[in-house]
Amino acid sequence: MSLLSSQHRHVALALAEAGSVLRAGQYRTAVTRAAPAQKQSQSIGGVKRGRKEKWEKKMNQERAQRNRDIPKFTRYPESKLQIPKTKERPAILPEVFQPGSGHSLDLPLFGPSTLTAKSVGQATSFGTTQTNAAKVFGLPNKMHFEYRILSTPCSVIRDVTLKAIHTLDKAKGSSSKDHRIVLHGRAGSGKSFLLHQAVQYAQAQGWVVLYIPRAVTLVNSTNSYAYDIRTQTYLQPRASYLTLDKLYKANSALLSQLTLSRELVTEKLNIPAGTTLAEVAQAGIKDKSFTSGPVVLETVLKELETQTKFPVLVAVDDFQALFHNSAYKDPFFHAIRPHHLSLPRTFLEFASGQRTLANGVFMGALTESDTAYAVPLELKDALNLESRHPVSPYDKRDQVKLGYTEGLKGLKVPERMSTNEMAGLFSVWKDDMALTTDKYDELFMSKYVESDGNPRDFVWKGLLSTLSP
């Protein structure tokens, strides 16, 4: 019989189907094996897979490069930042900053009697009273580091110190519109020290002093802020409160002799005309919610603008930071411009002459070492400063910022200290027992040449770099 039975036909069909399925499965398996592996995730936390170690190595190298020239003492706790006061013990870390016998420098007090041509190169100390500007307003960071180590806060009188003091004496009794000065010069040349000397001199001579040692804190989003529809600016309640408090503590004796010309009425305050400015400031300080701080500070400043009984010095360090967009954000997450913040706007108006002191001076100092808040083109053009890189005439200038630079006059701080001035600086650290050797002549000349006469490099990278394990 040629034809298979139906049973045999079903078995044949089943075997044929099984074979085709087996062949198809083998084909798919072969294709799967031949296909390339599926691409895996390409990044871990923003770093491409396989490059994490390379990225970490690069970051460590950059961190080491930044910290290479920074002395170790800047990273030590407060308890260890004391110079040894005995000559028997060598100044070697980590025992270099152990408390000693209470030795202190015996220096003449900084003041009119010591500010003469014969005193150039001489070290002088600052007062340590509770109303001293350094104690009340604080100091720039780098200056603060040095004063934490030295037993006595002091500085060296330079030729440029006498120029700055002469400028203050000449401006006394005249409007600040003609006396708006900005200190500029190479990084580490002593601009902050010079500004601090001017503040100390003015306070000793009976000036009302308003000193801002770190203007960058007004724009780096470290204080609270709130929009004020009345002034159409962003108020800084806490920063205004602290500024008012410091202004009162440093000048309470003078503010008690000045009176309010018109009454001050707010939601919380009702101060009649004739009240002393000291009492007005105290009323704002008592409001611990900070809400009265901006209004009271503005009222006191307006009274200081018009009075002529006492000269007024407004001194701002890190002045260039007030020309950068702030780290504060508006409701649309756009950076708030500095002149839209209450305190930066106030100091910019004093600097530009839009607000003037009937008897006073505005003085600012630039910081060249802060790359986050570099000196802007507008200030460089106004002060005729040199640029490290070629500047194109097509680089955009902000017209609003240019308006705040009108009328500013520059006072250049020399890049190098003279040998006489540097010898005075060297004697401060030598007499305070901060050196590890008694070969003073060789150490002085070697570090003076290495630093190229730059005072900060002479101390930080020269003298203090010898304090190593």
DSSP string, 150-186: SSS-EEE--HHHHHHHHHHHHHTTS-GGG-EEEEE-S
The pLDDT of residue 409 is: 95
195 and 243 co-located in one domain: yes
In a domain, 317, yes or no: yes
Distance of alpha carbon 269 from its chain centroid, rounded? Answer: 34
213 band by pLDDT with thresholds 50, 70 and 90: very high
54 falls in which pLDDT band (50, 70, 90)?
Answer: confident
More confident residue, 422 or 92: 422
pTM of structure: 0.79
Query: pLDDT value at position 16?
Result: 57
pLDDT score at 66:
62
* Amino acid found at 135: K
To the nearest 10 degrees (0 to 180), the angle between helices 440-451 and 419-431 is 130
| Together in a domain, 407 and 280 | yes
The residue ranking higher by pLDDT, 394 or 449, is 449
Segment 184-209 mean pLDDT: 95
Average pLDDT estimate for 5-14 = 54
- Mean of pLDDT over the chain: 83
> What whole-number distance in Å separates Cα of residue 91 and Cα of residue 256?
49
The pLDDT > 70 percentage for the chain reads 80
- pLDDT score, position 420: 93
Residue 130 lies in a domain: yes
Same domain, 143 and 195: no
Host domain of residue 109: 90-155+417-466
* Close Cβ partners of 39 (under 8 Å, ≥ 6 residues apart): none
Q: Per-residue pLDDT for 416 more than 70?
A: yes
Q: What is the mean pLDDT of residues 364-370?
A: 92
Question: Would you call 300 helix, strand, or coil by DSSP?
Answer: helix
Whether 301 is in a domain gets the answer: yes
User: Would the pLDDT of 2 be above 80?
Assistant: no
Same structural domain for residues 406 and 422? Answer: no
385 occurs within a structural domain: yes
- The enclosing H or E element of 465 equals none
CB 132 within 8 A of CB 84: no
Rounded alpha-carbon distances, angstroms, from residue 334 to 162, 216, 234, 328, 329: 45, 19, 14, 8, 5
- Mean of the pLDDT values across residues 319-336? 94
pLDDT bracket for residue 165 (50, 70, 90): very high
Domain annotation covers residue 160: no
Neighbours of 283 (CB within 10 A): 18
Query: Cα separation of 448 and 450, whole Å?
Result: 6
For residue 4, being part of any structural domain is answered with no
Q: Are residues 407 and 421 in the same domain?
A: no
Ranges assigned E (strand) in 283-404: 312-317, 360-365
Q: What percent of the chain has pLDDT over 90?
A: 58
At 71 the pLDDT is 55
pLDDT per residue as tens digits for the range 282-303: 999 999 889 999 999 999 999 9
The answer to whether residues 126 and 178 belong to one domain is no
Longest Cα separation, the chain: 139
Co-location of 109 and 142 in the same domain = yes
Q: How many residues does the chain have?
A: 469
298: part of which helix (H) or strand (E)? helix 293-306
Whole-angstrom distance, CA of residue 312 vs CA of residue 206: 9
Res 321: pLDDT: 95
Mean pLDDT over 399-408 rounds to 94
State residue 421's pLDDT score.
Answer: 94
Nearest to 368 by CA among 381, 378, 380: 380
Q: Is the pLDDT of residue 85 over 90?
A: no
For residue 53, the 8-state DSSP code is H
Q: Report yes or no on 404 lying in a domain.
A: yes
Read off the pLDDT of each residue in 59-78 and give the average, rounded to a whole number: 62
The pLDDT of residue 41 is above 50: no
Residue 307 has pLDDT above 60, yes or no: yes
Residue whose pair of structure tokens reads 């802060």 in the numeric block: 370
32, part of any domain = no
Cβ neighbours for 257, distance < 8 A, ≥ 6 positions apart: 276, 309, 310
Tell me the backbone φ, ψ of residue 277, rounded to 5 degrees: -65, -25
Q: Which of 101, 314, 299 is nearest to 213 (CA)?
A: 314
Residue 22 in this model has a pLDDT that exceeds 50: no
Helix (H, G, I), strand (E, B) or coil at 419: helix
448 to each of 161, 325, 420, how far by Cα in Å?
A: 21, 39, 11
Residue 50 pLDDT more than 90?
A: no
**Same domain flag for 264 and 325:** yes
* Cα 427 from Cα 424, distance rounded (Å): 5
What's the whole-number mean pLDDT along residues 338-351?
Answer: 96
- Distance from C-alpha of 123 to C-alpha of 108, rounded to nearest angstrom: 8
pLDDT of residue 92: 37
Classify strands 154-156 and 123-125 as parallel, antiparallel or unpaired.
antiparallel
The stretch 7-30 carries a mean pLDDT of 51
Give the number of domains in the chain: 2
Please give the Cα distance from 109 to 121 (Å, whole number): 14
Residue 279 has pLDDT above 50, yes or no: yes
The reply to whether 408 and 429 lie within a common domain is no
